[in-house]
Structure 1
Amino acid sequence: MEEKSVNKTNSNGYTFMFAVILVVVVASVLAFTATSLQPLQNENVRQEKMQNILATIGVESDREGAEALYNKYITETIALKEDGSVDENTDAFKVDLAKELKKDVNEQIYPLYIADVDGEKYYIIPLQGKGLWDAIWGYISLKDDVNTIKGAVFDHKGETPGLGAEITQTWFRERFGDEKIFDGNGNLIGVSVVKGNVGPSNKDDNKVDAISGATITGNGVSDMISERLQHYLPYFKKQQDIKVAIQ
């Protein structure tokens, strides 16, 4: 009897059944854990988004304090249509740019955040583009002339560490401060990330110095800035209090 019992537990069928039960149990535990943590993960993403928006206007915050500062400094959130009109039925903060970019430009929604910091007005625009390996994104804020950059933040999904991934670094982000997005003729051209920029202190040349060895990622940053900003021109042209020379 004992020998038969041992043989049974050593059989292939028993091993297979044990493996199946183990896989099901582990999968169930992982699924339950993922579901339980989803609200916390969503909240972390929401707070990090607020942090990034605030960072473009020079307001630094930890994750826990982001919402209070966001509510203090962000005075308006607007969901814009391609023609510059406002979509009253859409929450701008909840717009997923990655999904919007898959739509026709006339069907996309363009979120805009307006901030007031010590009496200074800023316009914050979300960015989404493509780097060398995958998506890159960020936020860029404009001063009230809608021409001068106050600040910018960038992030990525899979750029090369030490190269393209450096777009997240403070020293790279700071290069965009006070750069202009319009040229001398009033054409919106954004800011180009240029290798060997000979005039990094020139804030009127629409250029910043590139990251060595990260040309394609830098081109992606340049492209997403100019492409995204173009969609906000119809709205800016309608604002009577904006004095920038817009072509």
Structure 2
Amino acid sequence: MAVKESNIRPFYTALILAFVCSFLVAAASVGLRPLQIKNSRLDQQKNILRAAGLYKKGMAVDKLFASAVEPRIIEIATGRFVPGRDINPATFNQRAAAIDPKLSRALPRSIDQAGLQRLEKYSLIYLIKKNGRLSRIVFPIRGKGLWSTMYGYLALGADLNTVIGITFYENGETPGLGAEIENPAWQAGWRGKKIYKAGRVDFKVVKGGVRVKGDAALHEVDGITGATLTSKGVNNLLHFWFGKYGFKPFIDRLRHKDEKLKRPPEVKNNV
């Protein structure tokens, strides 16, 4: 009997130890969850500020974001702003919306340049104003690369055409090759580029690098050496998100509104 008990005792000890360890891991996970959420939010804010050209190392990200950036929700298909009372930008989860059948739609392969499969009905955008006037807008972008979905932000200037900056903050591309989309040196090559020409997306990520000069060079950026398919994915996602199925309805609506504000008032002839 004593032999049996001595054989069973290590088993019970291991079982109790496993239970205690699993409890501690679960408790730590729950306890760290608020910190993880906060860090994730700060990382997103930092990337938005980087795309907008406002981030500097060591700055208080949350304070600058709160004072300089106005998150808004738009309906992608119409380009209309959605009132905050209907959808709160602070709590809207765009990734979750993209896979929710009630908040998204399936994309036919013929128009799904970015390889999304489904497109959310609503999107966050980020308005940045200076002296009360629109200075730049940051748009969320995503699309398929070689191995993964690439997530990032692209900021346009007040002319709704000139690139202020781009960031990619999440991808599963090949380290040292496709993953170079997160390299600040490559991202810097986007500054000052133009997305549209004559009202249409006219932009290329060029394999082997930009070889044209003059105005044509403003519509091209260097591809990543050794990462042809990743570069093609970036090109495709840009064409999708700034085309008619992405943010173009919003951009056109905003541009038309701005043009109306700039027109001189009509003078009625009362004779």
Which bin holds the TM-score, normalised by the shorter protein?
0.7 to 0.9
- Does the CA-based 8 Å contact 2:210-2:220 persist in structure 1? no
CA distance in 1, matches of 2:210, 2:175: 26
- Does the CA-based 8 Å contact 1:142-1:150 persist in structure 2? yes
Of 109, 120, 123, 1:110 maps to: 123
Q: Determine whether 1:90 maps to 2:87.
A: yes
How far residue 83 of structure 1 moved from its aligned partner, in angstroms, is 1.0
- Does the CA-based 8 Å contact 1:146-1:242 persist in structure 2? no
Residue aligned with 2:188, SS: helix
Cross-structure match for 1:177: 191
Structure 1 unaligned residues grouped into runs of 5+: none
How far residue 187 of structure 1 moved from its aligned partner, in angstroms, is 0.7
CA distance in 2, matches of 1:225, 1:14: 63
1:221 alignment partner AA: V
Of 234, 238, 246, 2:249 maps to: 234
Residue aligned with 1:219, SS: helix
Residue aligned with 2:159, SS: coil
Q: Determine whether 1:162 maps to 2:172.
A: no
Which one is further off, 42-51 or 230-239? 230-239
- The change in CA–CA distance for 1:203 and 1:14 in structure 2 (over 3 A counts) is farther
Cross-structure match for 2:110: none
Cross-structure match for 2:234: 221
CA distance in 1, matches of 2:231, 2:216: 19
TM-score (norm 2): 0.77
Among all aligned residue pairs of Structure 1 and Structure 2, give the percentage whose two residues are the same amino acid: 28
Cross-structure match for 2:44: 49
CA distance in 1, matches of 2:205, 2:25: 43
Structure 2 unaligned residues grouped into runs of 5+: 106-117, 261-271
Count of equivalent residues: 235
TM-score (norm 1): 0.84
CA distance in 1, matches of 2:190, 2:180: 14
- Does the CA-based 8 Å contact 1:128-1:136 persist in structure 2? yes
Of 220, 223, 228, 1:210 maps to: 223
Cross-structure match for 2:201: 188
How far residue 63 of structure 1 moved from its aligned partner, in angstroms, is 7.2
CA RMSD of superposed structures (Å):
2.5
Residue aligned with 1:95, SS: coil
How far residue 228 of structure 1 moved from its aligned partner, in angstroms, is 1.9
Residue aligned with 2:12, SS: helix
1:70-120 CA-partner distances (Å, limit 9, x unpaired): 12221x321011211222222335433333333216752111111125766
Of 48, 52, 64, 1:69 maps to: 64
